[in-house]
Amino acid sequence: MSNNLLKGKKGIIFGALNDMSIAWKVAERAHEEGAEFVLTNAPIAMRMGEINKLAESCGNALVIPADATDMDDLSNLFDKATEHLGGKIDFILHSIGMSPNVRKGKHYTETNYDFYHKTLDISAMSLHRVLKTAYEKDAVNDWGSVVALSYIAAQRVFPDYNDMADAKSLLESITRSFGYHYGIRNKVRINTISQSPTMTTAGSGVKGFDEFVAYAEDMSPLGNAGSIECANYVVSMFSDLTKYVTMQNLFHDGGYSFTGVSEKVIEKFKQ
């Protein structure tokens, strides 16, 4: 399905690891909608070579490795991407998350602070780094659109989400703060999409994830939003149809965030 919503638009997509990744679906949908883009991920994430398959299916998109916590990598990425795409870009997808504390099974109350730093840098500060690089290089066209992916643990406690909850709060705060400054200077808009739990490599790293997905499914009037639906939402945010939306955290969760309790969940407690 294509409505040419992104025809003539150029961008950078961070975070396509494999075909489960939300960024992977965004790349496929953005390509269908006529966008041209560069794909990027951490050098270590490219070892399996999966991203090359995606690049091929997206009109031989250029792939540029960049660790999103490394300013030199980001500078190189923006220079090469704008050169390759023939000028300024119109959209950026930040689809990056990783917590060494989650990976190593460290309980939130026993956090390892070196790991904690890494969680915040990779999953949140990286958005600031990307935006600062783009801002300094004046690499984004006026009315450009930046989307980062968040989760409702930024607002409410989900115990096993661990320090990623803190990272998501920071990510949403950076979205507002940078959104203000970039909006004033270039009318660039910056938003987060707060997505339903989704079966991906990052998602399934969270303890008890399957139960978590099932609970959210039963709590959401529309059911959980899938990754393809998320990609569609991202495409709409990159398009000119959403020009005046900025500095927002947009829930894409089938109504989960505003449901107190559902009949399906209550049913499970009936004696």
Contact set with ligand NAI (CB under 6 A): 14-15, 17, 21-23, 41-42, 45, 67-69, 95-98, 122, 149-151, 195, 197-198, 200-203
Q: How far is the CB of 270 from ligand NAI (least distance, A)?
A: 29
Instruction: Decide whether 141 or 169 has the Cβ nearer to ligand NAI.
Output: 169
Phi, psi of 66 (to 5 degrees): -160, 130
Q: With left for phi above 0 and alpha for psi between -120 and 50, is residue 188 left, alpha or beta?
A: beta
Instruction: Decide whether 23 or 237 has the Cβ nearer to ligand NAI.
Output: 23
Residue listed under structure tokens 């399957």: 210
The total of other beta-carbon atoms located within 10 Å of residue 199's CB is 13
Binding residue positions for NAD(+): 15, 21-22, 96, 168
Residue nearest to ligand NAI (CB): 203
Phi, psi of 165 (to 5 degrees): -60, -45
Instruction: Decide whether 150 or 239 has the Cβ nearer to ligand NAI.
Output: 150
Instruction: Decide whether 87 or 159 has the Cβ nearer to ligand NAI.
Output: 159
DSSP-derived secondary structure for 46-112: GTT-HHHHHHHHTTS--B----TT-HHHHHHHHHHHHHHHTS-EEEEEE-----HHHHTT--GGG--
Instruction: Decide whether 42 or 55 has the Cβ nearer to ligand NAI.
Output: 42
**Catalytic residue of the set 116, 151, 215, 233:** 151
| Cα four-point dihedral sign 83, 86, 88, 89 | negative
State both tokens at 179.
Answer: 């959104």
**Is residue 161 annotated as part of the catalytic site, yes or no?**
yes
Contact in structure between 224 and 215 (CB atoms under 8 Å): no
Q: How far is the CB of 150 from ligand NAI (least distance, A)?
A: 6
Q: How far is the CB of 17 from ligand NAI (least distance, A)?
A: 3
Q: How far is the CB of 189 from ligand NAI (least distance, A)?
A: 19
**Catalytic residue of the set 113, 116, 161, 244:** 161
DSSP-derived secondary structure for 226-254: -HHHHHHHHHHHHSGGGTT--S-EEEEST
Q: How far is the CB of 205 from ligand NAI (least distance, A)?
A: 8
- Residue numbers annotated as active site: 151, 161
